[in-house]
Amino acid sequence: MDAAEEAHIADPNLGTVVVTAAELEQRIAELGQRVTADYEGRPPLLVGVLKGAFVFMSDLARAIRLPLEFDFMAVSSYGSATKTSGVVRIVKDLDLDLSDRHVLLVEDIVDSGLTLSYVRRNLLARGPASLEVCALLVKQGLQKADPDLRYVGFTIPPEFVVGYGLDVGERYRNLPYVCRYMGQ
């Protein structure tokens, strides 16, 4: 048993593992191959949604065999809660101009799709040549409309999860897997 597994067992807030570290590694390698093939000859600008997507984006970028550029934005719809507030706001905007760029938006998780819809509209208004979305996790049955995702890592049950960049109150981002959060 490794240190992460021992810490997991000792923490009563952590429930069952939803996506293992090995599953993450394998699926991200597959996504990297698809992105590489799809963007051949037109390297994308990866736009990560902070803070949750930073771990996924880092591993995804290493799996893509193309020259890449990166930028980040931070949006908030949760605060420190475990349910979305329904209000989305930009906390940190992009530094780069998106005009005529092939943009791949990298999201950690899609719940209701509210945040993604807001971010997509915002980025499209900046005139990119193309805009696609790569989401690590999509919660089943919570989206009010089709989120139009080009790349999806995993579809998971509609439960609150932490790990692999996902947090509650800034905790658990460093877990190498995704698990259910049982705390209140």
What positions carry a catalytic annotation? 111
* Inter-CA distances, 55 with 28, 81, 99, Å: 11, 21, 26
What does DSSP assign to residue 96?
S
Using only the alpha carbons of the chain, give its radius of gyration.
Answer: 16
Number of neighbouring beta carbons within 10 Å of residue 121: 9
**Is the distance from CB of 44 to CB of 102 less than 8 angstroms?**
yes
Quick check: helix, strand or coil at residue 12? coil
